[in-house]
Amino acid sequence: MSCQRIMGVINTTPDSFSDGGTLYQGTRLDLDHAMARAEQMVADGAAVLDIGGESTRPGAAPVSVQEELDRVIPLVAKISTELDAVISVDTSTPEVMREAAGQGAGLINDVRALRRGGALEAAAETGLPVCLMHMQGEPTTMQQNPEYGDVVEEVGAFLAERIGACEQAGIPREKLMLDPGFGFGKTVAHNLQLLAGLPALAAQGLPLLVGLSRKSLIGKLLGRDIDQRLPASLALAVLAAERGASIIRTHDVAETADAVAMVTALEEFGEQ
């Protein structure tokens, strides 16, 4: 059963923080393996697949436009012809947005909230919905010393400014969703404050997308390595869904779909 709230993560990078390189054979992306992962995620309940070709983990090597296109576009093209899922392209690069849209992508997920030169115009041209994510700083340095006065208020103000920029560029508000960017220039305390403050961000009236799967706050709070973070990731997914998240971004689709389905069941029961 597909759960409309689940976005499965497919990293086509050799160096992503939790699953980097698992789709590689030597130095080449194994398209058949990536496709098998996508098929499994859809069978497990993902309604959206998020395909990314740039690692945003702190210290990751920068990727050229051509490299990002080569990693992402063949997979977007193949999934769009073979699978029934919305394809989200996880990119900040205008050329990738345009090309992915042409190959059947249905959503732009930009961790830089369309701040890269030409990104607003490219996203507007595609006519696709966009997820605007908050990040303090740049991936290479964002975790060095993140600072906020009131993190919920500042993230909310940033996202409101980006909504305004999108509207000015011709992307209507109805096409936007928002993401506080857990782990992107945030300490553990900032992440927890944002999780508690999700209802305040939901009050902007746009759908919230949340990614907490396997993130380092779990490692910092519980001392768990990446491969031991599933139970805490599920708890965080449920907490986020209860606090108003519409879409949950996850590496572990089957387990997260079941966990979040319990929140959905309770919400639907409450509406009777």
Active site residues: 215, 249
Does residue 250 interact with ligand 9MG by CB under 6 A? no
Identify whether the C-beta of residue 15 lies closer than 8 Å to the C-beta of residue 55: yes
Name the minimum Å distance from CB 184 to ligand 9MG. 7
182 binds ligand 9MG (CB under 6 A): yes
Cβ distance 96 to 53 under 8 Å?
yes
Smallest distance from ligand 9MG to CB 110, Å: 8
Residue numbers 1-30 binding ligand 9MG by CB under 6 A: none
R_g of the chain, CA atoms, integer Å: 17
Is residue 111 at the binding interface for ligand 9MG, with CB under 6 A as the rule? yes
Window contacting ligand 9MG (CB under 6 A); options: 148-156, 162-170, 175-183, 233-241: 175-183
Q: Applying CB under 6 A, which of residues 10, 96, 131, 151 lies at the interface with ligand 9MG? A: 131
Torsion of CA 261, 262, 264, 268, to 10 degrees: 130
Residue 90 within binding range of ligand 9MG, rule CB under 6 A: yes
Q: Which of 139, 156, 185, 211 binds ligand 9MG (CB under 6 A)?
A: 211
When asked if residue 109 is in the footprint of ligand 9MG (CB under 6 A), the reply is yes
133 vs 22, 53, 110, CA distance in Å?
A: 25, 17, 6
- If binding is defined by CB under 6 A, does position 52 make contact with ligand 9MG? yes
CB 57 within 8 A of CB 87: no
Q: Which is nearer to ligand 9MG, 165 or 177 (CB)?
A: 177
**Residue 190 in contact with ligand 9MG, rule: CB under 6 A:** no
Amino acid at 63: V
User: Binding to ligand 9MG by residue 197, rule CB under 6 A?
Assistant: no
Residue 133 within binding range of ligand 9MG, rule CB under 6 A:
yes
Candidate list 179, 198, 234, 260; residue touching ligand 9MG; CB under 6 A: 179
How many of the chain's residues bind ligand 9MG (CB under 6 A)? 13
Contact flag: residue 249 with ligand 9MG (CB under 6 A): yes
Dist. CA 2–CA 6, nearest whole Å? 8
Cα 189 to Cα 182: distance, rounded to the nearest angstrom: 11
Specify whether the CB–CB gap between 43 and 26 falls below 8 A. Answer: no
- Contacting residues for 246 by C-beta, under 8 A, at least 6 apart: 5, 177, 207, 208, 209
In the complex, minimum distance from the CB of residue 272 to ligand 9MG, in angstroms, rounded to a whole number = 32
d(CA 50, CA 56): 14
CB 80 within 8 A of CB 87: yes
Footprint on this chain of ligand 9MG (rule: CB under 6 A): 52, 56, 90, 109, 111, 131, 133, 179, 181-182, 209, 211, 249
